[in-house]
A and B are shown apart, each in its own frame.
Chain A
């Protein structure tokens, strides 16, 4: 495979810039569709030979469909653990998809990485499109045309009553999962994050951490996604998110930030400047700590607290990814144990945090 990271300077993926509409709060938008091929068992009952055939069919048709200028196909069973971990950190495959030796793959549009198609994960195909900032309609239009293009070549398992059939009944129907990655340090500092969690739960939405199911909200980064896929159209789910749910959360977060600045400016200045100071001078950094500090610096940038002394947003966003364990080891060019990684991470952050200012 061509390497997704060619060095610390280039992160390639367009959506990872965390810029774009409403990017003070919304880091990225994602839409995914779950699809299965007609005539094959779902993966829990699929033999190795079934999986191999599904993989062959998917590869041939996905590559033939010319879904992007360049599509990179990665056979995961053959790729090294570190490479798979890099894909997980880039949100191109799930943690579950990174494990095991069964025939499975991911197709990724290169170099923008906006489109990724996981083959033989929980369903035969999981198509996802990512965008920087709040851009769900754009992401949906893109994925819809990709889906049409694939569907013109092969037959999906579908029933008029239940819609697109999926291994897990919680995805059946449209098979759509709309999710938005949010940066909510204001609500966190104001102690109001649980209100958002409760409100989301009341609306049947899932709230998760940076790395999806079961992960903590490190760096005050949260993902909100829909859970209902049957009995509502794709557009209804999307509209709810774009017109109601996400604008509400954005409004709460902005309000929390304004209130913090009005009432507790010194506290916020202290937290954000300390974080920047720590990143510029630390000699040992754990991954979660780095993400938490970068999150505070991102907040400081959004609130214009650094005057001319602050780093560039692009460098902060880039480091949120490059400080992750697999990316760090890839940048260094060899595997490191945890203690070595802390040293390397601190070195990398000191070297890169002010790159844009030089």
Chain B
């Protein structure tokens, strides 16, 4: 159907009934805007949500600029997808996700229940491990095997044994090299 005012396709249709008489208007988006009939353009749900998040509280405005040191995720990115980037995000965004968790978990704010048996579970320790692992990956990628071996030893000394093994690619090679060197 053509627009009542121009040759464009009509996308906005208005029907009003006045004194028992039906009045129809068929307009393209441009003409509809001129007549004050249509909103500017289609706005995606995501855009609306982002707008909402950006504009709600001032603390949240700051929040969108908060970045996780562990993985580089920023808070807006999390709000967009609903998934966090790494364990450190929980400390990086602690202030922001606190209220969100409370709503999602019927007022629950702190963990009760099972805890891991091993001595682990200290947040600082796990963050340090994550940092060592990042450096280890970089060292392996750059073929700095001695540095990689040192990093691996450092992880070991923290009681982190989980990836000791033979078939773990570059990390394993780094370890084998360090043993050869010894």
Report the interface size class on chain A: 35 or more
Do the beta carbons of B126 and A228 come within 8 Å of each other? no
Report the interface size class on chain B: 35 or more
Return B73 CB to nearest CB of chain A, in Å. 6
Closest A residue by C-beta to B104? A170
B115 interface contact, C-beta 8 A: yes
Do the beta carbons of A230 and B109 come within 8 Å of each other? yes
A173 interface contact, C-beta 8 A: yes
Chain A residues closer than 8 Å to B155, beta-carbon distance: 39
Query: Residue among B107, B108, B110, B111 with the most chain A CB within 10 A?
Result: B111
Question: In whole angstroms, what is the CA distance A144 to B117 when docked?
Answer: 12
Question: In whole angstroms, what is the CA distance A229 to B105 when docked?
Answer: 6
Chain B residues closer than 8 Å to A168, beta-carbon distance: 82-84
Contacts between the two chains (Cβ within 8 Å), count: 167
Question: In whole angstroms, what is the CA distance A299 to B116 when docked?
Answer: 44
Query: Residue among B97, B104, B137 with the most chain A CB within 10 A?
Result: B104
Question: In whole angstroms, what is the CA distance A153 to B116 when docked?
Answer: 11
A316 interface contact, C-beta 8 A: no
Question: In whole angstroms, what is the CA distance A44 to B31 when docked?
Answer: 44
Chain B residues closer than 8 Å to A36, beta-carbon distance: 87
Do the beta carbons of A230 and B162 come within 8 Å of each other? no
Question: In whole angstroms, what is the CA distance A323 to B118 when docked?
Answer: 46
B150 interface contact, C-beta 8 A: no
Question: In whole angstroms, what is the CA distance A45 to B105 when docked?
Answer: 25
Closest B residue by C-beta to A163? B111
Closest B residue by C-beta to A153? B162
Contact of A169 among B104, B106, B132, B167 (CB under 8 A): B104
Do the beta carbons of A158 and B113 come within 8 Å of each other? no
Return A150 CB to nearest CB of chain B, in Å. 10
B6 interface contact, C-beta 8 A: no
Do the beta carbons of B160 and A155 come within 8 Å of each other? yes
Closest 10 pairs between A and B when the two form their complex, measured CB to CB: A231-B108, A163-B111, A154-B162, A45-B85, A230-B108, A230-B105, A233-B113, A157-B87, A41-B86, A39-B129
A–B Cβ pairs within 8 angstroms, 11 of them: A39-B133, A40-B86, A41-B86, A122-B83, A147-B114, A155-B118, A155-B129, A167-B84, A169-B101, A172-B101, A230-B111
Binding site for A on B (CB under 8 A): 70-73, 81-87, 89-91, 97, 100-101, 104-118, 120-123, 126, 129-130, 132-133, 137, 155, 160, 162-163, 165, 167-169, 171
